[in-house]
Copies of this chain bind each other. A is one copy, B any other.
Amino acid sequence: MSAPSEYLLWSHAELDEIRQQRSADNAMGRSLAALEVRVTASLARGVVIPGQGEAGSFEHNTHKENARLIEGAALLGRLDDDTRALDHAHELLAGYAACYREMPYQVARNTNPPGKLFHQILNEHIWLLHASLGLALLKPTLSEAQYQTLLEGLFRPMLEMFTETYRHDFDRIHNHGLWSVAAVGICALVIDSPSHLAISIDGLDGTGETGGFLAQIALLFSPQGYYVEGPYYHRFAIHPLCLFAEALVRHCPERNILEHAQGRIGKSLNVLLSSAYPDGRFPALNDASRTMNLDDEGARCAMALLAARYDAPSELLTLARQQAGCWIQANGVVLMRAMREVSHEAEVRSQLFHDGPEGNSGGHAHLKRGKGLAAQHAVLTAGQHGMGHGHFDELGLTFFSRGKEVLKEYGFARWVNVETKFGGRYLKENEGYAKQSVAHNLVVVDMQSQHDGDHALADTQHGNVALLDGCAAGARAQCDNAYENVAMQRKVLLLESHHTETPLLVDIISLQSEQPHVYDYTFNHGGQVIRWWDGEFTALAAWEVMGNSAGYQHLWKTGQLTADTAHSMTWLDGDSFHSWHQITQAPADVFELRVGANDPQHNLRPDAKVMTRLTATTQTFYNLFESHGHFNEALEQCGGARPEVISFTTLPSPDGVTVLELTFSTGQLVLVLTDPSLLPALHELEIGEQYYRIDQEVMLLER
C-alpha cells in the first residue's frame, strides 16, 4: 500500500478492488449496497440544508446526515465514475459554504462549547472530518474557483473556529480532543495546510507531549491499549484515531504513527475488539448504552485497520462476523479476505488489560470460555474511574453466558438523540442512579457509593487485578480505597467440568474491616424469577423505597426472604434458566428489588435486582451462578429447569485457603483457592478424609 492515495484514504487502484466487492455476500457488499440506497435517496430528495435545532431534531439529524452524505456521495461517485453523485456531494458542500460564515453560534447546552450547526462543538468536529474526506474525493475534479469557494466559505472558518476561537480547548486530552485533532489534521492534509497539520499532530506547543494526536494517544490509552472511559467511549474515540492514523500512514510515513508510544494504536484496537461480548455488544461499563456493538462505525474501522495493518488474531476475525457492515476502504477489503480464511470458530482466551497512562493504575480482567455465540465472558473491573463518565464500580462484575448478559450492567440513564428525552442528553438519574455503586454487581458498604460518590476523589485512585494461576479463566481483584477502613477482595472464575453443560461462574467477595458495616451484595438480572429454593419468600404488600441517597432512593423493595446463611434462586431469561447460590458466614436478609422509585419522568428502566444484606466487620460472600436447561415457549419444549448444582458449601480450611464443595447428580467437585504466598509452604490439604497435594493457586478436584 505504498501506491499514491489520490483521494487521501483511497487510491484509484484500491477503488477498483472495492468495486469488485459490489455484489459480494459479505459485510463490504452490504455496506456498498446501503451506501447506494442512501445516496440514491438523497439525490431524489435534493439538497436540504436546514437551520439550527436541538439534539435529535430534524435540523440536527439532517446536518449530521449531510456530512456523511458528502463523503458517501463523493465516494460512490468515484467508485461508479458517477458525475451526478459527485455533483451532489459538491452541491451539499457549496450549500454549507454559502451560509456557514454568517451563521450565528448555537446556544450551549452543556459544558461543551457551542458550534454553529450543532449545540456542541464535538458534532462540528465530526462534521468537518466527514466533509474533509468528501472534499478529498472531489478535489481532483473541482475547478479552482469551486475549490476556493469551499475553502473560504466553509473549511477555513471551521478550522479557525476550532484552532483559534476555541484554541484553549484544542489541546484537551479527551475523546472530544481526538475528534478535534483528527478533523483538523485530515482537513489540513486535504487543503494542504502544514501549520494546521503540525498542531494537530504535535499540539499547540509543538512538543507532542501536552496536546495533538501524539499526546492524545499516549495519555488516553494505557500502554496495553485500554481506554480510560471504557468500551463505549473507546469505540467512539477509536473512529477518528483510525482515520487519522490511516491518513498519516499514507501521507506522512516518516511519522511512523503505528509505532508511536510502543505501538499503542494497534494495542488499542486489540483491547477494544477483545472487550466485546460474543454477540458483538460491548459490556456497558461506565456511561454506556447496553446496545452499542461492533457494528458501530468506529469499531468497523478498528476491525479493518487491525486486519490490514496488523496480525489480527483469529478469535477477533471470528467476532467480525457480528459486523453487518464494513469500512468502505482498502483495509475493509483486506478484512473480508482475512475472514474467508478463518474457517471455524476460534476458541476465546482470557485477557487482562492494564489501565492508566503508565499501565499501573489497576485494570480489567476479561475472563472467557468457549466458542462463538455460546462463549462465556465475564469482566472484573478494578481500574481507573473513567473521568466524568466514570461509574463508582470498583470490583464490579458483568457476565455474559448463553447469548445474553446474565449479570447485567445498567448502563447510562440517557436516550441518545431522543429529542423528547431532555434533548438526548444525560438525564439527572445518570448521576442519581446509574453511576452509583448500588446500580452495579458488587458489594455496597453502608449504603454509600464508593469514594463517597466523588468523581474527583475517585479519579485519583484505583484498584488492582491479576489473573489467577492454574485456571484458564480466573482473576482476583482488590481495592482498599473505595471505602475508608474497608478492604475489598473479589475472586471470579469460570469453571469447566463434565458435570455441567455450561461452565459455572464462581464469585467470592470478601470485606475486611475492624468496625461493623452494612454489606449489600447486589446483582442485576433479567427475565422472570421462577423460584426461591430455600427459605420463605414474602412479596411486600406495599413497595418500599430502599433509601434516600446513593441510588437507593431509586430502588423499590418488592419482596424479601427470612435471614439465612444459604440462598438459592432460579430465573428464566428467554430460552435459558440461570440459578444463583449464595453462602454467607452470618445470616443475611435477601431482598428483591426493582429500579424506578422517585422517577416521575420515567427516566429509569424497571430492571430487576437481588440484594443480600448483613452487618459484619469481616465477611465473605460465596456465590455460584449457573446457566442450565432450555425453554422454547413457542414449541412448548422444556428441560433442565432445576439447577444442576444440588449443593454448594464451604469446607473447613486453613487461613488463606478457600475450599468449596459442589455436588451434582453426577458427582462432586472441590475447588481449592490458595493465597499464592502460602503455596511454597503448603504441601497437602485434608479434605474429607483424603489428602490432596496443593501446588497451584486454583485447583479443581474431582471426588
Partner-B contacts on A (CB < 8 A)? 56, 58, 61, 289-293, 295-296, 415-421, 424, 528-531, 537-539, 541-545, 556, 558-559, 570, 572, 594, 596-602, 605-606, 631, 633-639, 641-642
Of chain B, the residue at the smallest CB distance from A424 is: B638
Q: Are the C-beta atoms of A420 and B531 separated by less than 8 Å?
A: yes
Q: Are the C-beta atoms of B528 and A605 separated by less than 8 Å?
A: yes
Q: Are the C-beta atoms of A599 and B530 separated by less than 8 Å?
A: no
Q: Are the C-beta atoms of B56 and A634 separated by less than 8 Å?
A: no
Closest 4 pairs (CB-CB, A-B): A543-B543, A291-B634, A417-B638, A539-B600
CA distance A599 to B543 in the complex (A): 13
Could you show 10 A-B contacts with beta carbons less than 8 Å apart? Answer: A295-B634, A415-B530, A415-B638, A417-B636, A417-B638, A418-B572, A418-B631, A419-B642, A528-B602, A543-B556
CA distance A145 to B645 in the complex (A): 47
Nearest chain B CB to A281's CB is how many angstroms away?
8
Looking at the complex, which one of B529, B545, B570, B638 makes contact with A541 (CB distance below 8 Å)? B545
Q: Are the C-beta atoms of A634 and B419 separated by less than 8 Å?
A: no
CA distance A594 to B638 in the complex (A): 28
Nearest chain B CB to A60's CB is how many angstroms away?
10
Q: Are the C-beta atoms of A289 and B633 separated by less than 8 Å?
A: yes
Q: Which residues of B contact A541 (CB under 8 A)?
A: 545, 598
Q: Are the C-beta atoms of A531 and B633 separated by less than 8 Å?
A: no
Q: Which residues of B contact A418 (CB under 8 A)?
A: 530, 572, 631, 638, 641
Report how many copies the assembly holds.
2
Of chain B, the residue at the smallest CB distance from A634 is: B291
Residue from the set A56, A418, A424, A637 with the largest chain B CB neighbour count within 10 Å: A418
Q: Which residues of B contact A419 (CB under 8 A)?
A: 638, 641-642
Q: Are the C-beta atoms of A599 and B539 separated by less than 8 Å?
A: yes
Q: Are the C-beta atoms of B602 and A530 separated by less than 8 Å?
A: yes
Q: Which residues of B contact A596 (CB under 8 A)?
A: 558
Nearest chain B CB to A267's CB is how many angstroms away?
25
Residue from the set A417, A601, A631 with the largest chain B CB neighbour count within 10 Å: A417
Of chain B, the residue at the smallest CB distance from A64 is: B637
Of chain B, the residue at the smallest CB distance from A280 is: B634
Q: Are the C-beta atoms of A633 and B528 separated by less than 8 Å?
A: no
Of chain B, the residue at the smallest CB distance from A605 is: B528
Nearest chain B CB to A568's CB is how many angstroms away?
12
Of chain B, the residue at the smallest CB distance from A421 is: B530
Nearest chain B CB to A550's CB is how many angstroms away?
19
CA distance A420 to B529 in the complex (A): 11
Q: Are the C-beta atoms of B600 and A641 separated by less than 8 Å?
A: no
CA distance A421 to B530 in the complex (A): 7
Q: Which residues of B contact A528 (CB under 8 A)?
A: 602, 605
Looking at the complex, which one of B531, B542, B638 makes contact with A543 (CB distance below 8 Å)? B542
Q: Which residues of B contact A420 (CB under 8 A)?
A: 530-531, 570, 641-642
Q: Are the C-beta atoms of A634 and B292 separated by less than 8 Å?
A: yes
Q: Are the C-beta atoms of A544 and B545 separated by less than 8 Å?
A: no
Of chain B, the residue at the smallest CB distance from A533 is: B420
CA distance A636 to B421 in the complex (A): 13
